[in-house]
Amino acid sequence: MAVSQRALEAAGLGGGRGRLERLRQWREQEHVFGYGLILPALVLLTCLVAYPFGMAIYFSLSDYWVGSPGQFVGLTNYREILGNDVFRQTVQNSFVFTGFALTLKTLLGVWLAVLLARDVRFKRVLRGAVLLPWVIPTALSTLGWWWMFDSLYSVVNWTAIRLGLISAPGPNWLGQTNYAMAAVIIVNVWRGLPFFAITVLAGLMSIPREFYEAAEVDGASSRQRFWHVTLPLLKPVLAVVILFSTIFTFSDFNIVQILTRGGPVNTTHLFATLAYQIGLQGGNLGQGAAISLFLFPMLAMVVFLQLRYIRRD
């Protein structure tokens, strides 16, 4: 009886080990193991991107208000925002803001990257210092700029008056239309410049020195080496960094919300700030979602054109 009992236990143990071995072999198959690795990323994308995006589409197609489920209204929200003067002003503001900020970040970013690529003293310290605007939390750094642009205590005006660049009392940076747009562009450029500079610097470091040596042997000047060697080899890197910066700049929220809140007279509103004002502060989630989704096809077109250019190049 004892022998048969031990035999049954051994058979059960062997069956358990066999199942574990089969499970291990199944888990180590290439397609199973690969899907297991990407499963956490898929879960995060589904919860943090796909689900909110689907809810935004649902809100934009209904008259959804805070506390009221709303009903399906089709494209009514889109027709209403297209007939809204504030929204049309916001579209213009977004293109002006992105165009100027992106141009300045591209030019200054390449120039700064070329300077950082030189072999100078304290090179690593300088490269670390350049990253500070990117590392500091946006809200904290923008509050510092808000104080610098303050109408009463503006250190920018005080410095410009002492240098004789402007006459007292100086402009009201955040209270006049053109100056307010200039202020938010300056802060956006200041914050986004390190991203451009460090990324372009990485591209510069990957260019073989033999190309520059061959150009020097041919008698090329430093300007000719930049235009005919550096810039062509940096095109793929520039295309990628411009793509990401376009998306970040178009969808900017913190800088404008802290500095101007879309004012004065809605002249600095961007898509994100207007959607926040109407959807969350005003409670009209349907129109707020429609405004935020209006940005999606434009960004999709920008991404498509940029990626097509990168592949072709």
- CA geometry: angle at 291 spanning 290 and 297, to 5°? 85
Could you tell me which of 109, 242, 97, 265 has the C-alpha nearest to residue 183? 97
Residues in the chain: 313
**What is the structure's pLDDT at 107?**
92
- Cα diameter, the chain: 108
Taking the CA atoms of 241, 245, 248 and 251 in sequence, report the sign of the dihedral they define.
Answer: negative
Q: Class of the 76-312 domain?
A: mainly alpha
Q: What is the DSSP letter of 282?
A: S
pLDDT at 28: 67
Residue 229 CB-density burial (10 A; 0-12 exposed, 13-18 middle, 19+ buried): middle
Residue among 80, 54, 74 at smallest CA distance from 284: 80
Residue pair 247/301 in contact by the 8 Å Cβ criterion:
no
> pTM value?
0.82
DSSP state of 226: I
The string of pLDDT tens digits covering residues 88-111 is: 999 999 999 999 999 999 999 989
pLDDT in tens, 149-205: 887 778 888 888 888 887 777 788 888 888 899 999 999 999 989 888 888 888 888
Which residue stretches of the chain have pLDDT < 50?
1-3, 7-9, 11, 13
Using alpha carbons only, how large is the chain's radius of gyration in Å? Answer: 28
Q: Return the residue matching tokens 């991404």.
A: 303
Task: Report the Cα 20 to chain-centroid distance in Å.
Answer: 46
Give CA angle at 69 (67, 74), nearest 5°. Answer: 135
* d(C-alpha 179, C-alpha 51), whole Å: 39
3-state helix, strand, coil in the chain (%, to 5): 75, 0, 20
